[in-house]
Amino acid sequence: MYRLIVGGEEQESDLSFEVLNPFDSSVIDRVASARPDHVEAALACAETARPRVRALPRSERARILSTVSLKLLEAREEISRLLAAEAGKTLAEARGEVGRAANTFAFAADEAKRLAGEIVPFDAVPGGHSRQGYSLKVPLGTILAITPYNFPLNLAAHKIAPAMAAGNPFILKPASATPLCDVMLGRMILEAGFPAEAVSVLPGPGGAVGLQLVRDQRPRMVTFTGSVEVGKQIAREAGYKKIGMELGSNSGIIVTETADLDFACSRIVSGAFALAGQVCISVQRVVAHREVFGQVVDRVTALAGKIKTGDQLDPSTGMGPMITEKEAARVEAWINEAARSGAEIRTGGARAGTLFEPTVITGVAEDAKLWQEEAFGPVVSINPYDDFERAIASINETRYGLQAGIFTDSLEEAFRAIETLDVGGVIVNDFPTYRVDQMPYGGVKDSGIGREGLKYAIEEMTEEKLICFNFWRPD
């Protein structure tokens, strides 16, 4: 059984739960579940550790972060198989995530060395000529990280690594479906030499463990990735502290008549069906110019039909299961609802337990759940457009705004999309699923608050301290 980590010490609990393989519901292992006293002890340890972590030189923070990166790469195959088993990823997807997590810690090491304030030009105002000063970036305090099941390792890295780089203790509450890799990550961080009391990993139910942590006023920031509904609950419960939210999306793509259709369609398929569509920036909606609409549908349908679904641990599998049968049934219901309203299923649409066929559907009404809400499953809707401004409006007219993409050879259309798409990131001539770990990443509207990406997250996890010297002396 995997033990939880409280202030650097692995502890057992009389509460535990099974972690299941989503493909066949087989038990991978058990993990200890945090009790209220574990939560209280982790919070107390983090506060005790604050001065020690704050005092770590930037060079030492960077060394520790680099060591974690190397440890992830050294154990890549072991972690990948565990990650694939608990999250339902294919082995290729899992290996990719471990590599990204290692990069995230490496980028954080670089940013730890660069962390600094700036010179303040006091003489820019009358009477300020005798003053000189600067600002410092000082650690914010204990960081509470709450992570989802779809990228349990790398999204934990995106919260923990900047916290460490900024000189903060952290408490990680992993998703109950996927806690095993995060416990392993906690061990690696301790082995790398981060102060023990500053490290806690507390698996357990969000309604108990998560809320106790969120409501406590000792953490100075909650950084959360997950659903809009849970994010809004956290915002209500958090009290007087910073919050960072990466929430839902239903990312859209515009395919113009000048696009490279072979490339665009291959990227649509990659973006729609990676991790069975359970990606925040998964391609969910496509609007294609009517001149190329038929070609886009035919090519995407043909490519989707070639994807082999099945056991994610089989190297020949192209798409694994969804995380639970309940989630798969929800996606099935949304697709059937759209079909009853006149949409046409071009391929897929069938479900067997947690396995769901890659699905392409056309003619989806823009007020349907499948167009308006986050499907978070292996389905892409493709509709035609005649007017470019209408295409922009079609992408914008939802409550989400994380990332969007456009395929075009027209600079005018590209810049028009950049100016008017109401999203946190516009990807030109690629899919909105594109993300590198050092870029600013986050959304608008119900897609979240704040930005991830190492430099940008570190900014959120520090405070600006002003230093001012007055050199004036009376004659």
- Catalytic residue numbers read 246, 280
* DSSP code at position 2: B
Is there a contact between 423 and 404 (Cβ–Cβ < 8 Å)? yes
Is 177:195 a contact under the CB 8 Å cutoff?
no
Residue 54: closest CA among 141, 136, 114:
141
Q: Which of 471, 89, 421 minimizes the C-alpha distance to 251?
A: 421
The strands making up 285-289's β-sheet, listed across from edge to edge, are 344-347, 359-362, 379-385, 285-289, 252-255, 403-407, 425-428
DSSP, res 308:
P
For tokens 């009404």, what's the residue? 365
Q: Tell me the β-bridge partners of 223.
A: 145, 244
Distance, in Å, from the CA atom of 268 to the CA atom of 405, rounded to the nearest integer, reads: 10
Other CB atoms within 10 A of residue 353 CB: 15
Are the C-beta atoms of residues 395 and 427 closer than 8 Å to each other? no
- Read off the tokens for 261: 């259709």
How many other C-beta atoms lie within 10 A of the C-beta of residue 306? 10
Structural contact between residues 122 and 128, judged by C-beta atoms closer than 8 angstroms: yes
d(CA 103, CA 93): 15
Closest to 115 in 3D by CA, of 449, 439, 456: 456
Angle at 214 between CA 446 and CA 148, to 5 degrees: 55
**Contact between residue 401 and residue 381 where contact means Cβ atoms under 8 Å apart:** no
- 92's enclosing H/E stretch is helix 91-114
Residue 387: other Cβ atoms inside 10 A = 11
Tokens of 359: 């699905």
Is the sign of the CA dihedral 455, 250, 328, 244 positive or negative? Answer: positive
Instruction: Name the residue among 9, 15, 223 with its Cα closest to residue 1.
Output: 15
CA distances from 454 to 38, 71, 124, 199, 444 (A): 29, 19, 32, 19, 19
Question: Long-range contact list for 308-311, CB < 8 A, 24+ apart?
Answer: 309/355, 309/356, 309/357, 309/358, 310/23, 310/355, 311/23, 311/24
CA 309/CA 372 separation, integer angstroms: 27
